[in-house]
């Protein structure tokens, strides 16, 4: 791992937060230089001071150096290979905890954030101590009048996602508690991380945020969408040219997720239900001549079952990530 650099950067128009809470913003970059640069540019308008750490997940396009050159106030940690979303973000979270962060704010690199979003989330978190995970309203960048997704409800054999591609008709005027909120933009309270740890690294990508939300709920924390905080998301830029990667990890992740959170016989019932859904999905892909996607989905299902059978559903593996040293600190 290599820290490139970070220099002190101050902005005279930053609000002085009443809470004086230290926030670290963590952005994962994988061959997404242009998107990450634009995301960082919008963060320069944020009214809440925060330390920004970009985890470069083994990019091969030179984006880590571009980010460091354009944003000297941002810390860039370059990993030698792509370790996956969960492990990459966990390294960033460990840096933040070593840096005495009170909150960690996870952002996808393809989001565009409103100037007061972070301040609004921190304000709400400070006055609602049972809120462990907080999300803004997430809109689509291409169609800003529609939500990307809002929150999720956990049912015995399914995850029901609310607000997916739904128009904003003013239906979310007050903060709303869900079973889970999503990692596109996620403010995490430090005490939650101290209590239940960060992401389960068995989830290479996808479903890790749902797992975190379910563990948070069991530990007594709430997951809340704060509608006064807003941002805009494009989505799946890291896998848009490799859709088979997404299909593999979604299929695998759902198996691991339900194995972990469904007891005994219920997981067997889910397995049969999911097998039916999986077969229908594969048949649809084959009819549409998406051969590679069908193979990836199949392999993801098989690998998920294999890993699930070899691990305890209730045991969170210890972090296999190294404990990095903190580089210089900068603020945006």
Q: DSSP states of 60-94 as a string? A: SSSHHHHHHHH-TTSEEEEESS---HHHHHHHHHH
114 and 37, same domain (yes or no): yes
For residue 240, the model assigns a pLDDT of: 52
Among residues 180, 205, 238, the one where a domain terminates is 238
Write out the residue range of the structural domain in which residue 49 sits. Answer: 2-238
State CA 81 to chain mean position distance.
Answer: 19
pLDDT of 77-112, one tens digit each? 999 999 999 999 999 999 999 999 999 999 999 999
For residue 276, the model assigns a pLDDT of: 87
243 and 119, same domain (yes or no): no
229 and 259, same domain (yes or no): no
198 and 58, same domain (yes or no): yes
- Residue 163: phi and psi, rounded to 5, are 85, 5
Rounded CA separation 87/320 (Å): 8
The predicted model scores a pTM of 0.88
Rounded CA separation 331/329 (Å): 7
User: Looking at residue 189, what DSSP letter applies?
Assistant: E
Rounded CA separation 205/304 (Å): 13
196 and 123, same domain (yes or no): yes
Q: How far is CA 204 from CA 33, 55, 184, 249, in A?
A: 21, 15, 16, 7
Rounded CA separation 29/92 (Å): 12
130 and 254, same domain (yes or no): no
- Looking only at the bridges linking them, the beta strands covering 75-79 and 2-3 are antiparallel
How many structural domains compose the chain? 2
Rounded CA separation 239/66 (Å): 21
248 and 283, same domain (yes or no): yes
Rounded CA separation 245/175 (Å): 34
- Residue 132, SS3 per DSSP: strand
Q: How far is CA 151 from CA 83, 162, 166, 172, 259, in A?
A: 27, 5, 12, 11, 21
264 and 222, same domain (yes or no): no
Rounded CA separation 121/246 (Å): 30
Tell me the two tokens of residue 61: 């396009």
pLDDT tens for the chain, 332 residues: list them.
666 654 433 343 444 555 689 999 999 999 998 999 999 999 999 999 999 999 999 999 999 999 999 999 999 999 999 999 999 999 999 999 999 999 999 999 999 999 999 999 999 999 999 999 999 999 999 999 999 999 999 988 889 999 999 999 999 999 999 999 999 999 999 999 999 999 999 999 999 999 999 999 999 999 999 999 999 999 654 545 578 999 999 999 999 999 999 878 888 888 888 888 889 999 999 999 999 999 999 999 999 988 888 877 655 444 333 344 333 333 33
- Residue 3, SS3 per DSSP: strand
């Amino acid at each position: 791992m290599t820290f490139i650099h970070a220099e002190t950067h101050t902005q005279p128009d930053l609000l002085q937060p009443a809470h004086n809470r230290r926030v670290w913003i963590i952005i994962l970059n994988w061959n997404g230089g242009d998107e990450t640069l634009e995301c960082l540019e919008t963060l320069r308008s944020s009214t809440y001071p925060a330390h920004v750490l970009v985890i470069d997940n083994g990019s091969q396009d030179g984006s880590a150096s571009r980010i460091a050159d354009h944003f000297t106030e941002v810390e860039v940690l370059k990993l030698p290979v792509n370790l996956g979303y969960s492990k990459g973000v966990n390294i960033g979270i460990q840096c933040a905890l070593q840096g005495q962060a009170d909150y960690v704010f996870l952002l996808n690199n393809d989001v565009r954030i409103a100037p007061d979003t972070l301040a609004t989330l921190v304000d709400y978190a400070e006055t609602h101590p049972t809120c462990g995970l907080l999300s803004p309203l997430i809109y689509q960048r291409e169609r800003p009048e529609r939500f990307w997704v809002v929150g999720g409800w956990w049912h015995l054999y399914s995850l029901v996602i609310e607000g997916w591609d739904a128009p904003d008709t003013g239906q979310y005027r007050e903060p709303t508690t869900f079973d889970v909120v999503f990692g596109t933009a996620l403010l995490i309270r430090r005490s939650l991380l101290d209590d239940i740890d960060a992401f389960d690294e068995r989830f290479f990508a996808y479903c890790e945020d749902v797992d975190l939300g379910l563990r948070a709920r069991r530990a007594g924390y709430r997951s809340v969408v704060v509608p006064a905080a807003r941002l805009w998301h494009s989505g799946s830029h890291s896998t848009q040219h490799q859709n088979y990667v997404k299909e593999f990890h979604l299929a695998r992740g759902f198996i691991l997720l339900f194995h972990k959170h469904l007891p005994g016989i219920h997981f067997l019932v889910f397995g049969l239900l999911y097998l039916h859904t999986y077969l229908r999905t594969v048949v649809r892909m084959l009819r549409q001549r998406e051969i590679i996607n069908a193979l990836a989905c199949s392999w993801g299902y098989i690998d998920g079952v294999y890993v699930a059978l070899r691990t305890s559903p209730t045991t969170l593996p210890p972090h296999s990530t190294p404990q990095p040293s903190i580089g210089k600190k900068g603020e945006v």
